[in-house]
A and B are shown apart, each in its own frame.
Chain A
Amino acid sequence: MPTLKINGIEVEVEKGMTVLEAARFLGIPIPTLCHEDALQPYGACRLCLVEVSNGRKTTLQASCCLPADDGLVVFTHSARVERARKLLLEMYVATCPSSKRIQDMASAMGLRECRYEAKHETCIQCGLCVRMCEQQMMAGAIGFSGRGVNRSVTRPFDMTSELCRQCGACLFICPVCESRCQGPQAESTLCNGCLNISTVCFQSYDNAMCFLEPCHACEIGGPFRADVGVKPRSKDLTHIVGK
C-alpha cells in the first residue's frame, strides 16, 4: 500500500486512491467545484490544487486527478497553493457572481475583494451536469459542444433530447444554478454577506456546543476564524477548539 506525506502527516492509503481522497481521509478540507464522489474525476476547475514535491521540484497539481503514489510529499494549504486558489476563485466569482456555492467558498476562503469585472455567465464548464447525466442517470442527454470561448453545454443539434427524462439531476449538481442569498447587496460582485452576520449562538450562550453542521455564518464569522473579528464572549473555548 502506498505511503505518502500530506502536510507532514504520514498516511497509508489504498491503491488507486487520489490525493484528494487521501487528504479528505485525514480530515483535511480541500475546496472543489468540479469533483463529486459518485462521478469520475474531471480536473476542470483546478480549485483542488495542491503543492506536490517529487524529490527536487515542487509543482501545483489538481489533487482530484492525482493518484496517491508512494513517496509523494503533498502540501494542501501552503502559501503558494492558497495564493493560486484565491486567484482562481476570484475569477470564478467574477464569472458567475450569482452562484451561491462559489460565493460561499469565497467567503469561507477569506476572499475580500474581486478585482475583475463581473461577467454573469451561467456556466463555469465544470462538466458536472454532463457527467451526472451520463454516469449516474445513464441518459447521456447533454454534452459539450464547440471549443474555446464557444464551448457550451447543449443537446445534440440543439433539439429537445429524446433521451432526457427530466430527472433534474443536472440542475441539482450544477454549482451555478443555486442563487446566492439576496441580502442588501445582492448586486455586488463579491457577496461576503455572511461576514455581517454574527453568530447568535455564541453570543447568547457561554460555551455553546453545537453538534450541527456548522452554518455558514458560524463557519465564516464564528469562533474558528481569527481574522474576522467576530469573537465569542467566552474566553474559555478550549474544550471546543483545543489548544
Chain B
Amino acid sequence: MPQVEMDKVEPLLEQYEDQRLNLIPILQDVQETYRYLPELVLRRISKKLRVPLTEVYQVATFYRCFSLVPRGKHVIQVCLGTACHVRGAPRVLDRILRDLKLPHAGTTEDLQFTVETVRCIGCCGLAPVARVDNTNTHPHLTQAKVGGLLKKYQEKAEAPKAAKPDEASHAKA
C-alpha cells in the first residue's frame, strides 16, 4: 500500500453531507484528487457515509471513470466504435501503444499516460478520434499524427514528476 495522504480526504468529505446519495460525487472527487480510488479511502468513505463497503466497491468497479489502480496524468481514450474502426482506429491505437511502449491498453510506468479504448464518443464525423483528459478531442487521426499528439502532452507533463507507487499491491485480480 503506497502512502496515501489520508489528510486530503477529510476536507473533501467535509464538503458533503453524510448521505448515500453523495457517494458518487465523493468518489468522483477522490478519483480526481488521487487519480485512482485508494482502498483506505474507500474504507473511510464507507464508514463515514454508513454505506456497506461492498456497495462502495460495487459502484467503484462499475463505472469506467473510476479506477482502483493509479492512472496516468493524461488519459487518452481511443475510440474503437464502428465508424472509427472502419476508418483505421486500430492502427492509430497500435501506434500510440508502440510509442508509449505499452503491451496493451493501460498505464505507462512513469504514470504520465493511461491509454483506454472506448466505444463511440459521439462524433463519428471526425473519425477516427481520440479524446484526452475528457475534454480535448483530436479528430481525423492518422499514425503520422500520433507523435505530435503525444508530444503535446508530454511537454506539459514534464515538470511535476509523480512518485511511482507500488502498483502490485493494487492490481485488481
Spell out A's residues near B (CB within 8 Å): 130, 134, 140-147, 154-158, 163
Contact A144 B58 (CB under 8 A): yes
Contacts A/B (CB < 8 Å), 21 sampled: A134-B52, A134-B54, A140-B52, A140-B53, A140-B54, A140-B55, A143-B57, A143-B58, A144-B58, A145-B57, A145-B58, A145-B61, A145-B62, A146-B61, A154-B57, A156-B53, A156-B56, A156-B57, A157-B39, A157-B68, A163-B53
**Interchain nearest-CB distance for B125 vs A (Å):** 28
Contacts of A154 in B (CB 8 A): 57
Contacts of B53 in A (CB 8 A): 140, 156, 163
Contacts of B172 in A (CB 8 A): 158
B159 contacts partner chain A, Cβ-Cβ < 8 Å: no
**CA distance in complex: A156, B55 (Å):** 9
Contact B62 A143 (CB under 8 A): no
**Interchain nearest-CB distance for B35 vs A (Å):** 18
Contacts of B58 in A (CB 8 A): 143-145
Q: Which of B39, B54, B58, B172 has the most CB of A within 10 A?
A: B54
The 6 closest A-B pairs by CB, nearest first: A143-B54, A140-B52, A156-B57, A145-B61, A158-B173, A156-B53
**Interchain nearest-CB distance for A46 vs B (Å):** 21
Q: Which residue of chain A has the shortest Cβ distance to B170 in the bound complex? A: A157
Contact B57 A141 (CB under 8 A): no
**CA distance in complex: A140, B173 (Å):** 21
Q: Which residue of chain B has the shortest Cβ distance to A159 in the bound complex? A: B39
Count of residues in B whose CB is under 8 Å from the partner chain: 14
The proximity string for B residues 39-72 relative to A, scoring 1 for CB distances below 8 Å and 0 otherwise, is 1001000000000111111100110000010000
Contact B54 A142 (CB under 8 A): yes
**CA distance in complex: A95, B62 (Å):** 23
Contacts of A143 in B (CB 8 A): 52, 54-55, 57-58
The proximity string for B residues 14-46 relative to A, scoring 1 for CB distances below 8 Å and 0 otherwise, is 000000000000000000000000010010000
Q: Which residue of chain A has the shortest Cβ distance to B43 in the bound complex? A: A156
Q: Which of A141, A142, A145 has the most CB of B within 10 A?
A: A145
**CA distance in complex: A158, B171 (Å):** 11
**Interchain nearest-CB distance for B154 vs A (Å):** 32
**CA distance in complex: A154, B61 (Å):** 11
**Interchain nearest-CB distance for A217 vs B (Å):** 41
**Interchain nearest-CB distance for B65 vs A (Å):** 12
**Interchain nearest-CB distance for B119 vs A (Å):** 12
B53-96, CB < 8 A from A? 53-58, 61-62, 68
**CA distance in complex: A88, B165 (Å):** 47
**Interchain nearest-CB distance for A179 vs B (Å):** 26
**Interchain nearest-CB distance for B52 vs A (Å):** 4
Contacts of B61 in A (CB 8 A): 145-147
**CA distance in complex: A147, B52 (Å):** 19
Contact B57 A157 (CB under 8 A): yes
Q: Which of B56, B57, B173 has the most CB of A within 10 A?
A: B57
Contacts of A142 in B (CB 8 A): 54
Q: With contacts A130-B54, A141-B54, A154-B57 known, what are 5 further pairs, Cβ within 8 A? A: A140-B55, A143-B55, A144-B58, A147-B61, A156-B56
